[in-house]
Amino acid sequence: EDQVTQSPEALRLQEGESSSLNCSYTVSGLRGLFWYRQDPGKGPEFLFTLYSAGEEKEKERLKATLTKKESFLHITAPKPEDSATYLCAVRGTSGSRLTFGEGTQLTVNP
Amino acid sequence: DSGVTQTPKHLITATGQRVTLRCSPRSGDLSVYWYQQSLDQGLQFLIQYYNGEERAKGNILERFSAQQFPDLHSELNLSSLELGDSALYFCASSAPREGQGADTQYFGPGTRLTVL
């Protein structure tokens, strides 16, 4: 069974204070690791897909990296508008479903 | 805006009732997925349809059913509702990706179901 664990559960940062969110996973044959951003009461917004260890992707202040056991979402010089819950999900060879972690709730204070 | 639409946005109903949630995928996407998000369980996969056919099933209760129509929109039917069915229900869609990697799922805005 695929499993995803995200840490920390919650993170408070000051504006400009860089940090990283962790996503540890176990999956039978990784076919993709996905990062989403979710605002309260809204649908998950797609950020990145990573397919193989060593892959990195960047978008504005966010950078996602992937190893064989975990993924990191690095946030550089965050702004208050980056406040949201960040979700990590994996898809393995066992089927089409995404298995999600519980998310990291990020708050960036001005 | 992901291009996935869901109606209604909010639904309030009573225990024992039946409701239908509707989803229109992004233009050209053949796969539709349904997920449930509750406070204590996070996002849980329910079911997937591909071009009108059921492709995969997750933790979907027997009281729940879904279908995908020829125009590719999908409906999730929830019956004999219980208090514990109160949750956000999301639809996602995807297009096949070339190569071995999984296609990306794009999520709709969700339907908030409240069962009283």
Please tell me if residue A97 touches chain B, with a CB cutoff of 8 Å. yes
Mean pLDDT of A7-12: 97
- What's residue B98's pLDDT? 67
Task: Render pLDDT for A91-108 as a digit per residue (tens, 0 to 9).
Answer: 988 777 899 999 999 999
Euclidean distance between CA atoms B45 and B13, whole angstroms: 23
Q: Compute the count of residue pairs across chains A and B with CB atoms less than 8 Å apart.
A: 64
Q: Are A5 and A99 in contact (CB under 8 A)?
A: no
Q: Best interface-test mutation with B: which of A97, A99, A105 has the largest number of B CBs within 10 A? A: A97
- What's residue A53's pLDDT? 94
Q: Are A19 and A11 in contact (CB under 8 A)?
A: yes
Mean pLDDT of B12-29: 96
Quick one: tokens of A76? 């550089």
Q: Label residue B21 by pLDDT band (50, 70, 90).
A: very high
Cβ–Cβ contacts within 10 Å for residue B116, how many?
10
Closest CA–CA distance from residue A98 to any residue of chain B (Å):
7
Task: From residue B79, give the alpha-carbon distance in Å to each of A60, B15, B17, B70, B105.
Answer: 44, 9, 6, 23, 27
Q: Are B22 and A76 in contact (CB under 8 A)?
A: no
Task: Render pLDDT for B82-108 as a digit per residue (tens, 0 to 9).
Answer: 999 999 999 999 987 766 667 899 999
What average pLDDT does the structure give for chain A?
Answer: 95
Task: Render pLDDT for A28-67 as a digit per residue (tens, 0 to 9).
Answer: 889 999 999 999 999 999 999 999 999 999 999 999 999 9
Q: Which residues in chain A have Cβ-Cβ distances shorter than 8 Å to B90?
A: 43-44
Closest CA–CA distance from residue B99 to any residue of chain A (Å):
10
- What's residue B101's pLDDT? 62
Note which residues in 55-74 of chain A have CB less than 8 A from chain B: none
Quick one: tokens of B22? 């509707």
A97 contacts B45? CB cut-off 8 A: yes
Q: Label residue B46 by pLDDT band (50, 70, 90).
A: very high
